[in-house]
Amino acid sequence: MAANDESGYDVIVLGAGPIGQNAAERARAAGLSVALVERELVGGECSYWACVPSKALLRPVIAVSEARQVDGAREAVSGSIGVAGVFGRRNRYVTNWDDSDQADWVGGIGATLVRGHGRLDGARRVAVTASDGATSVLTARHAVVICTGSRPVLPEVPGIDEARPWTNRQATDSSSVPERLAVVGAGGVGVEMATAWRGLGSQVTLLARGSGLLPRMEPFVGEFIGRGLADAGVDVRVGVSVRALRRPDGAAVTLELDDGSELVVDEVLFATGRAPLTDDIGLHTVGLTPGDWLDVDDTCQVRAVEDGWLYAAGDVNHRALLTHQGKYQGRIAGAAIGARAAGAAVDTAPWGRHATTADHYAVPQAFFTVPEAAAVGLTAQQAEHAGRRARTVDVQIGDVVTGAKLYADGYAGQARMVVDLDRGCLLGVTLVGPGVTEILHSATVAVAGEVPVDRLWHAVPCFPTVSELWLRLLEAYRDASDDN
């Protein structure tokens, strides 16, 4: 169809999820006019099919598990989880997949919401196709920011189309509990969804192709999570791959495994990676390859595009596929665009407010399993590969932290601190145990702020909280230093 008259804005943002919203808000704060383009729901994947619904499903499961770890409380826990109540809670937190409130927020910051599928149409131009097929063209005076996110990747396995597998979307928006569920993949989505659906009553089998769970974290984390899942009744199998699938006539799904065995389930969830949602956003019109990740500098400018008008934040730039990191990038990008539009200098130094330096060394991540897992910065192995001279210290949290013992009887967990011996500050911290996600930010501040270990001794943890762990880690580091 013929395009309508062009509309001009200072900034156009493709994708109105949390990353796009942060980029738009920061650009508006700089006094720039902004159009925010969205083809699905305002709020994006995180609000409706990922972070929010998954945590809404997981919290009741974890709450019950934690109650059962405390004498006097476990006696009050009887029966099974109220599935209808859990789904109702999930539905409230995703506002029944109604984005009206988030759409109102866009108007509230003074941005223009444009509904439809946005595609680049040459430099600083975006063509938007509405649901009725009508097309409009938007032009950007200063910048276009791509915040279109990522999609789940399904492996090329015979029978996968016939099997109609779940991805993260079905795993978080389903309102019926499969009697038997196979989860393929042992990353964050895999272990969290295995935790959630086992808690809701499914017989869950978790299949990990590698030798352990959460393979990008310290090895001990996967060991703790594996034991926790097994204790909850999950059948955890490592070193196993799916060779083929069958689902004739809508019956149960049969998974043929590479160890020669077969597994029959009612549903199968594949949590086996993500790909950028860049295949149909007009990248070819600006000399880029559709479907590629977008390489950016520390202000989120796309390196391969001349004149610096194209930015990419969030999953599409492949720096850290985490909502909080994408929001951080969106804020940086919006601020950098505002500064450049005003002709101001952009401070991209390590401590500058226009540089995504945390992407390089201080990325936090948390997984809501039983027990919980959290980490920021480098693992011991990553520090070694980076050529850092480092010392690693470990603490068994339940053995030495009074607050942990009070938090859960028989508290089982471990903490690791990786210290840069040359600079005297932290390179990374990893935690696994009940409630550790809520103390992760203290570690993030220490790593991102490059706080000297000598100064951390003066950050006094409140007694008796799990945060007393910090004192025990410092003591372990002191003792290890004295031994050398």
Residue 39: CB atoms within 10 Å:
21
For strands 203-208 and 235-238, give the pairing: parallel
**Termini Cα distance of the chain:** 75
Q: Per the annotation, does 315 bind a ligand?
A: yes
Q: Per the annotation, does 481 bind a ligand?
A: no
Q: Per the annotation, does 191 bind a ligand?
A: yes
Q: Per the annotation, does 149 bind a ligand?
A: yes
- Concatenated DSSP letters for 17-29? SHHHHHHHHHHHH
Q: Supply 231's token pair.
A: 């204790």
Q: Per the annotation, does 128 bind a ligand?
A: no
Q: Per the annotation, does 249 bind a ligand?
A: no
Residues 6+ apart with CB under 8 A from 255: 182, 184, 207, 242, 244, 245, 262, 263, 264, 265, 268
Q: Per the annotation, does 187 bind a ligand?
A: yes
Query: What count of residues does the chain have?
Result: 484
Q: Per the annotation, does 291 bind a ligand?
A: no
Cβ contact 347:354 at 8 Å: yes
3-state secondary structure of 363: coil
Residue 188: CB atoms within 10 Å:
22
Burial classification of residue 262, based on how many CB atoms lie within 10 Å of its CB (0-12 exposed, 13-18 middle, 19 or more buried): exposed
Residues 6+ apart with CB under 8 A from 113: 16, 35, 36, 38, 42, 103, 106, 107
Q: Per the annotation, does 384 bind a ligand?
A: no
Q: Per the annotation, does 211 bind a ligand?
A: no
* Nearest Cα residue to 43 out of 124, 127, 111, 106: 106
Residue 401: CB atoms within 10 Å:
27
Q: Per the annotation, does 419 bind a ligand?
A: no
Q: Per the annotation, does 20 bind a ligand?
A: no
Q: Per the annotation, does 262 bind a ligand?
A: no
The Cα 58–Cα 36 span in angstroms is 31
What are the binding residues for FAD? 55, 118, 148-150, 315
What are the binding residues for NAD(+)? 185-192, 273
What are the binding residues? 55, 118, 148-150, 185-192, 273, 315
